[in-house]
Chains A and B, each alone.
Chain A
């Protein structure tokens, strides 16, 4: 028995089985339960250590040889598995309320397993290939049968596919740079290719145009899952690069580039969000802003805390995006489109979903008492110590997102006079959304509750995390 078999091969096999499932409820519960089981196993099962059951003892090896290379999941990687499989479990159980479980669970399970494989493969450069496989598997999730594929999906496919060659080739050049760091031409070539590759992969400014298009046209719950998982995997792969190459880690230019990219993403997405009239597009701009905030956290000069802040962002983000995606999925079921003029006044019929959208938006904006506040505030504070200009633009971006949230709320509550309050959500939907609201508040008031989960995440990186 080995760790890659448990956390990669097993979910891939299970994904194939779940494709045969015919019941929404069964898929959501069994899929969510299985992901939770893998998450708990990652938290509890020691790797490379003898485990005894009475007279029987066994050991879970950390590596699996595949075609001459290895997949390695060491004990340092287990916290990230807890988080990734935990997010998948949360999303799959939530799909009970959206009638999308039959598609989301099998494809989502395969995507999660491939993203875990991308973290485990050695040499780590080959992760780009596994991420690309996950991208290709995600297409049937984003384009449902009987729907013409829109521009967003096509651009998503193109941009994500283009990322792979750039990253793979830059990896080859980077190893050359390590051998001869004085070769300036090679350094420039390698960093340019690497920058382009990650710009495509993470949808960095100006390559993010596909995100609002995709969130406008694709099923919101699926697209939320895809964007969250891919941005997390892409950022982790980027951290792997920084961790692995000393010269890259020690060049101040890298942190300047991260800061510039991050602030451009946050500010531009905030400004665009302020003018949107579509709930899906607003969701897309929030995702872009979140990637920007992650890049900003990594750009902080205090290396002792930047990676820690980066990881602390993950949990509140997953929670808020999950609630937001679930809520707009319910809105989309009632309204023909997610345009403001089509969803006007829906607060009277979908109050739980509308409050869910508003709270999730405010949490991602970093409003006090909500889950996103403590970490976002810490990043903003650190940024203001280093550069008031960047902190100012951070504020502008946040303000733009806040205006978007207020306009959303205004559109959703603006019902014709005399329209009665008649909640149409099912009890299950009300329960899931109500639990989500409570979690947003609880993790905002008690952010230390996420510490046990997140505190060990940076250990997966040998240099930057210790």
Chain B
């Protein structure tokens, strides 16, 4: 695949990961997560055959669907984070810092591990950084799940370049799905408690 074509999903990932950090509406967030998996699929496709790379896309969309179905079925109050970094401005600033930090890191990794291209490294490190930032900002089950899925997506982009075992692909797909189910379970039990209290 042409190098220029590989930078398109990186731009998509930059957009989705920024959006995931800033968005407070779960519908938008999950739509961005689904789009993010498309970017991941594109980058993985550079190293894996289409049938295997498609597993990432299908799994990611299934995980997103599981979270969306659960969230659709529960009524939660509008989120108000109690942690100090609440404002969108702060989130944008933190995301810019992460994106800027990811660039030199990606370049270093791409130099020392030439089998991973610069675009994949950039995309992978960006997702890992943004996911970590997400995890540092919330303790709400759904957003923690989204953060973890983002970190894992970044790792999967990098790892796909160095490992193409079918077993790894299957286990990573299972981990992603289980993570989404765990997120759904945690979301459900939180709501069950609120219903009981009512």
B:128-175 near A, CB below 8 Å: 128, 135, 139, 141, 144, 147-148, 151-152, 155, 158-159, 162-163, 165-168, 170-172, 174-175
How many residue-residue contacts, CB under 8 A, span A and B? 88
B26 surroundings in chain A (CB, below 8 A): none
Query: Is B182 a contact of A129 with CB atoms below 8 Å?
Result: no
Interface-lining segment among A56-64, A96-104, A144-152, A250-258:
A144-152
Query: Is B178 a contact of A143 with CB atoms below 8 Å?
Result: no
A247 surroundings in chain B (CB, below 8 A): none
Chain B nearest CB, measured from A160 CB (Å) = 10
B186 interfacial by beta-carbon distance below 8 Å? yes
A169 interfacial by beta-carbon distance below 8 Å? yes
Interface-lining segment among B14-22, B94-102, B188-196:
B188-196
A66 interfacial by beta-carbon distance below 8 Å? yes
Query: Is B179 a contact of A136 with CB atoms below 8 Å?
Result: yes
With known contacts A136-B182, A157-B144, A189-B112, A145–B162 Cβ distance under 8 A: no
A132 interfacial by beta-carbon distance below 8 Å? yes
B185 interfacial by beta-carbon distance below 8 Å? yes
Residue of B whose beta carbon sits closest to that of A140: B185
Chain A nearest CB, measured from B161 CB (Å) = 10
Query: Is B185 a contact of A143 with CB atoms below 8 Å?
Result: yes
Query: Is B175 a contact of A132 with CB atoms below 8 Å?
Result: yes
With known contacts A68-B167, A136-B182, A186-B112, A165–B189 Cβ distance under 8 A: no
Query: Is B189 a contact of A143 with CB atoms below 8 Å?
Result: yes
A37 surroundings in chain B (CB, below 8 A): none
How distant is the Cα of A66 from the Cα of B189 in the complex, in angstroms? 35
A130 surroundings in chain B (CB, below 8 A): 171
Query: Is A165 a contact of B174 with CB atoms below 8 Å?
Result: no
B155 surroundings in chain A (CB, below 8 A): 165, 168-169
Chain B nearest CB, measured from A3 CB (Å) = 18
Query: Is B159 a contact of A133 with CB atoms below 8 Å?
Result: no
Query: Is B141 a contact of A149 with CB atoms below 8 Å?
Result: yes
Query: Is A158 a contact of B135 with CB atoms below 8 Å?
Result: yes
How distant is the Cα of A148 from the Cα of B187 in the complex, in angstroms? 9
Query: Is B151 a contact of A149 with CB atoms below 8 Å?
Result: no
Chain A nearest CB, measured from B184 CB (Å) = 11
Query: Is B151 a contact of A145 with CB atoms below 8 Å?
Result: no
Residue of B whose beta carbon sits closest to that of A69: B167
- Size class of the contact patch on chain A: 35 or more
A185 interfacial by beta-carbon distance below 8 Å? yes
Main secondary structure of the interface of A (DSSP, over half): helix
Chain A nearest CB, measured from B71 CB (Å) = 15
B141 surroundings in chain A (CB, below 8 A): 149, 154
How distant is the Cα of A17 from the Cα of B74 in the complex, in angstroms? 29
Query: Is B165 a contact of A129 with CB atoms below 8 Å?
Result: no
How distant is the Cα of A143 from the Cα of B186 in the complex, in angstroms? 8
Query: Is A139 a contact of B182 with CB atoms below 8 Å?
Result: yes
Query: Is A158 a contact of B158 with CB atoms below 8 Å?
Result: no
A229 interfacial by beta-carbon distance below 8 Å? no
Query: Is B165 a contact of A68 with CB atoms below 8 Å?
Result: yes
A9 surroundings in chain B (CB, below 8 A): none
A90 interfacial by beta-carbon distance below 8 Å? no
Partner of A129, one of B128, B172, B179, B185: B172
How distant is the Cα of A212 from the Cα of B171 in the complex, in angstroms? 30
Query: Is A67 a contact of B166 with CB atoms below 8 Å?
Result: yes
Query: Is A129 a contact of B148 with CB atoms below 8 Å?
Result: no
How distant is the Cα of A101 from the Cα of B130 in the complex, in angstroms? 40
How distant is the Cα of A189 from the Cα of B108 in the complex, in angstroms? 11
Chain A nearest CB, measured from B44 CB (Å) = 15
How distant is the Cα of A143 from the Cα of B181 in the complex, in angstroms? 14
Residue of A whose beta carbon sits closest to that of B177: A136
With known contacts A130-B171, A143-B185, A161–B148 Cβ distance under 8 A: yes
Q: A149-B190, A168-B163 are in contact. List 17 more A-B contacts (CB 8 A).
A: A67-B167, A130-B171, A139-B186, A143-B185, A143-B189, A145-B192, A147-B193, A148-B189, A149-B141, A151-B139, A153-B186, A154-B139, A158-B135, A165-B151, A165-B152, A169-B158, A189-B112
Q: List 27 A-B contacts (CB under 8 A).
A: A66-B167, A129-B171, A133-B171, A133-B175, A136-B178, A136-B179, A136-B181, A136-B182, A145-B192, A147-B189, A149-B186, A149-B190, A151-B139, A158-B148, A161-B152, A161-B179, A162-B151, A164-B175, A165-B128, A165-B151, A165-B155, A165-B159, A168-B155, A168-B163, A172-B159, A185-B112, A186-B112
Closest 9 CB pairs of A and B: A165-B155, A129-B171, A136-B178, A67-B167, A69-B167, A67-B166, A139-B182, A149-B186, A172-B162
